[in-house]
């Protein structure tokens, strides 16, 4: 990584000496221009856009301080260093006001210059790394134009795409799901994994958030990578999940790519993961594997279809669930992918609806239930149990959606939540208590309340916490957290701030001024 330096000094011997020292001290600094007066220096800097300006103060036409003022007013962002033979307080004061990085007195020693360059190098590395992150975020989210890509064109890259739990086709905007993924990613400590890998160099990789909360995209400078090193990193990340309740699917770009290929590569790796992820199974997949993931399960067995149609027309729901339980067991043993599993389950629902006299809108409701299953569960056993509940519900209620009954059900559930805020409430137990599936609970809650059950419960708890903070100013925050259902005070404070915009202590002090 090269850093461009411009030197302005009106005495030729001193100018040559400064350039000579820079070249000798650190090969990462390249002098791209020089001038004997501030006016020529300014014109060059507008054109060259260096990273650093090293300038004398007293120069003809335009002095060093006014050169820096003119540069700042032009909106050019560079690091400025003054070298002067005058130890005058007024100069130093102006330099500080202008945000000058350093003020070095002549005669310039190699040691002084080396120390300044070392400090600047750290700043520029961090600055370029952050600029790289900003540009890459725009690129992977298709918000970059050609002028932005110019900032990356000198480099080539490798990529590791990480998907936690089931790949998503769309995201319903659940706060609880986003918080869960954020917590998993924080505990993953990807930065630690990459720093521990001998093939990576600090500030040569970027950890970026993808389109969905469960996506992470790691972009690495290729000149410190190889296909082998990327595969090694992927496996080290996978090992972090082995003993957790979550699973991970990772795809690696096996070829060096330039900046214009980054967005397309993200799409390609996402498609590889979407096509290859097996629910509950950790894996690193390659482009070579993606064509044959579970394709033998893409359609239902014709005998099974005939049985389902017969049982549906005769209302034999127990026979249907029995057949599906056996079939899903075979799918699990055959490592069917999440994508094919979802296609098949929707096909089963379609068969059941079409042969049970249900309306098209009812089919859409049940298909949404299936999508919700894959958002909430990352183990096939759970998905199988919940799907069979959906089938039972389909036949027990004949699939008819009665908005009046659902509204009454919502009222009963919200009353239950309000009366049990201090208790540990789980969605599966709540759904079972009211005789519906967990996915059904989430869907009707979203429709009639506008929030997921978890988000609604959290908001209720925060409102209750605000009441306690206002009414009982002496009550300890940890006690308020406990009686409103938060087992962890830190988590309570974080959620409180995310909803109210203020930390509990700040909310209390503003509401109860001394």
Contact 391, 327 (CB under 8 A): no
Tell me which of 360, 380, 401 is where a domain ends: 401
pLDDT over 50 (residue 184): yes
- Between β-strands 52-55 and 3-8, what pairing exists: parallel, antiparallel or unpaired? parallel
Residue 263 lies in a domain: yes
- The verdict on 284 and 169 lying in the same domain is yes
Same domain, 417 and 373: no
End-to-end CA distance of the chain: 55
pLDDT at 7: 97
Non-local CB neighbours of 274 within 8 Å, separated by 6+ positions: 167, 169, 339
Residue whose C-alpha is closest to residue 225's, from 216, 234, 217: 234
- Tell me, yes or no, whether 310 and 271 share the same domain: no
pLDDT tops 70 at residue 262: yes
Q: Which residue has the tokens 């600094």?
A: 29
User: pLDDT by residue (tens digit) across 458-511?
Assistant: 999 999 999 888 888 888 888 898 888 888 888 899 899 989 999 998 898 887
Q: How confident is the model at residue 203 (pLDDT cuts 50, 70, 90)?
A: low
Strand 102-105, strand 79-84: pairing:
parallel
Reported residue count of the chain is 514
User: What does the DSSP 8-state code read for residue 474?
Assistant: T
Domain harbouring 450, CATH code: 1.10.10.60
| Residue 309, helix vs strand vs coil | helix
Both tokens of 176, joined, read 């609880």
Q: Are residues 170 and 93 part of one domain? A: no
pLDDT at 512 over 60: yes
- pLDDT value at position 97? 78
d(CA 466, CA 472): 10
Do 202 and 179 share a structural domain? yes
Residues 174 and 276 grouped into a single domain? yes
pLDDT tens-digit readout, 207-254: 999 989 999 999 988 765 566 678 888 898 999 898 889 999 999 987
Task: Flag whether 147 is in a domain.
Answer: no
Q: Which H or E element spans position 164?
A: strand 157-164
What mean pLDDT comes out for the span 370-383? 90
208 and 246 in a single domain? The answer is yes
Q: Check whether residue 377 and residue 324 sit in a common domain.
A: yes
| Burial class of residue 2 (count of CB atoms within 10 Å of its CB; 0-12, 13-18, 19+) | exposed
pTM metric for this prediction: 0.70
- Which two three-digit tokens encode residue 218? 């790691």
pLDDT at 288: 54
Domain boundary among 105, 125, 145: 125
The closest alpha carbon to 341, from 377, 392, 393, 395, belongs to 377
Looking at 307-387, which runs of residues are DSSP E strands? Answer: none
Q: Collect all residues with Cβ–Cβ distance below 8 Å to 236 and sequence separation of at least 6.
A: 193, 196, 197
Q: What is the mean pLDDT of residues 437-445?
A: 83
Question: Does 414 share its domain with 375?
Answer: no
DSSP annotation of 3: E
Give the 3-state DSSP-derived string for 31-95, with helices as H, strands as E and coil as C: EEEEECCHHHHHHHHHHHCCCEEEECCCCCCCCHHHHHHHHHHCCCCCEEEEEECCCCHHHHHHH
Mean pLDDT, range 64-75, rounded to an integer: 91
Reply yes or no on whether the pLDDT at 289 is more than 60: no
Q: How far apart are CA 215 and CA 274, in angstroms?
A: 12
What percent of the chain is modeled with pLDDT above 90?
31
Same domain for 217 and 242, yes or no, is yes
Q: Residue 61: is its pLDDT beyond 90?
A: yes
Q: What tokens appear for 183 in the block?
A: 């917590």
135 belongs to a structural domain: no
What average pLDDT is seen over the chain? 84
Domain-embedded: residue 134? no
The arithmetic mean of pLDDT across residues 351-358, rounded, is 78
Q: Please report which confidence band the pLDDT of residue 277 belongs to, taking 50, 70 and 90 as the band edges.
A: very high
Check residue 257 and report its DSSP letter: B
Q: Is residue 169 one of the residues assigned to a domain?
A: yes
CATH of the domain at 71: 3.40.50.2300
| DSSP code at position 242 | T
Average pLDDT estimate for 66-74: 92
State the pLDDT at residue 17: 94
- The mean per-residue pLDDT over the stretch 181-202 comes to 78
Sorted by sequence, the CB contacts under 8 Å of residue 196 that are 6+ apart come out as: 236
Cα-Cα-Cα-Cα dihedral sign, residues 186, 192, 195, 199: negative
**pLDDT computed for residue 213 by the predictor:** 92
Distance CA 362, CA 388 (A): 17
DSSP string, 91-112: HHHHHHHTT-SEEEESSPPHHH
Residue 187 has a pLDDT of 86
Residue 233 counted as domain residue = yes
HSE, side-chain direction, 13 A CA sphere, residue 267: 8
By 3-state DSSP, what share of the chain in percent is helix, strand and coil, each rounded to 5? 60, 10, 30
What does the DSSP 8-state code read for residue 197?
A: S
Rounded average pLDDT over 430-451: 82
Within a domain: 23: yes
SS3 445: helix
**Contact 102/43 with Cβ under 8 angstroms?**
no
Q: Are residues 173 and 218 in the same domain?
A: yes
7 and 121 co-located in one domain: yes
Residue 216's domain comprises: 155-288
- Quickly list H helices, 106-198: 110-140, 146-149, 175-188, 190-196
Stronger pLDDT, 20 or 312, i.e. the higher one: 20
Last residue of a domain, one of 288, 311, 327: 288
- Name the domain count of the chain: 4
Cβ 436 vs Cβ 410: under 8 Å = no
Q: How confident is the model at residue 402 (pLDDT cuts 50, 70, 90)?
A: very low
215: β partners: 163
Taking 80 as the threshold, does the pLDDT of residue 109 lie above it?
Answer: yes
């Amino acid at each position: 990584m090269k850093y461009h330096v411009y030197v302005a000094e009106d005495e030729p011997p001193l100018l040559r000496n400064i350039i000579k020292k820079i070249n000798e001290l650190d090969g990462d600094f390249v002098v791209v221009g020089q001038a004997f007066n501030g006016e020529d220096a300014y014109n060059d800097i507008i054109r060259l856009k260096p990273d650093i300006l090293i300038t004398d103060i007293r120069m003809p036409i335009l002095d060093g301080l006014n050169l820096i003022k003119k540069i700042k007013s032009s909106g050019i962002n560079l690091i400025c260093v003054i070298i002067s033979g005058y130890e005058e307080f007024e100069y130093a004061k102006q330099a500080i006001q202008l945000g000058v990085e350093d003020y070095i007195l002549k005669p310039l020693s190699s040691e002084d210059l080396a120390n300044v360059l070392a400090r600047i190098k750290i700043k520029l590395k961090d600055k370029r790394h952050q600029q790289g992150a900003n540009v890459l975020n725009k690129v992977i989210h298709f918000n970059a134009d050609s002028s932005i890509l110019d900032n990356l064109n000198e480099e080539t890259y490798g990529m590791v795409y990480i998907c936690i739990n089931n790949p998503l086709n769309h995201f319903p905007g659940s706060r609880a799901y986003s918080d869960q993924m954020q917590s998993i990613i924080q505990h993953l400590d990807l930065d630690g994994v990459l720093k521990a890998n001998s093939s990576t160099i600090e500030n040569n990789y970027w950890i970026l958030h993808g389109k969905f909360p469960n996506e992470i995209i790691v972009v690495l400078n290729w000149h410190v990578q190889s296909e082998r090193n990327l595969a090694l990193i992927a496996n080290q990340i996978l090992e972090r999940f082995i003993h957790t309740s979550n699973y991970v699917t990772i795809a690696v770009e096996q070829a060096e790519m330039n900046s214009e290929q980054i967005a397309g590569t993200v799409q390609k790796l996402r498609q590889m993961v979407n096509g290859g992820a097996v629910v509950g199974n950790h894996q690193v997949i390659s482009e070579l594997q993606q064509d044959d993931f579970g394709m033998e399960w893409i359609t239902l067995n014709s005998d099974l279809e005939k049985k389902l149609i017969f049982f549906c027309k005769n209302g034999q729901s127990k026979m249907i669930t029995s057949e599906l339980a056996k079939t899903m067991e075979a799918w699990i043993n055959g490592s069917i992918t999440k994508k094919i599993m979802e296609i098949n389950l929707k096909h089963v629902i379609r068969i059941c609806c079409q042969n049970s006299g249900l309306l098209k809108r009812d089919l859409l409701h049940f298909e949404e239930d299936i999508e919700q299953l894959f958002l909430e569960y990352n183990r096939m056993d759970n998905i199988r149990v919940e799907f069979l509940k959906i089938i039972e519900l389909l036949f027990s209620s004949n699939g008819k959606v009665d908005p009046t009954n659902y509204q009454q059900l919502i009222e009963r559930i919200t009353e239950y939540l309000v009366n049990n805020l201090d208790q540990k409430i789980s969605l599966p137990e709540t759904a079972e208590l009211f005789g519906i599936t967990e996915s059904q609970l989430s869907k009707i809650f979203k429709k009639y309340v506008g929030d997921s059950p978890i988000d609604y419960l959290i908001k209720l708890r925060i409102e209750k916490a605000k009441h306690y903070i206002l009414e009982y100013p002496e009550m300890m925050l940890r006690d308020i957290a406990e009686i409103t259902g938060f087992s962890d005070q830190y988590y309570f404070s974080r959620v409180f701030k995310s909803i109210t915009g203020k930390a509990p202590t700040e909310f209390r002090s503003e509401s109860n001024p001394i």
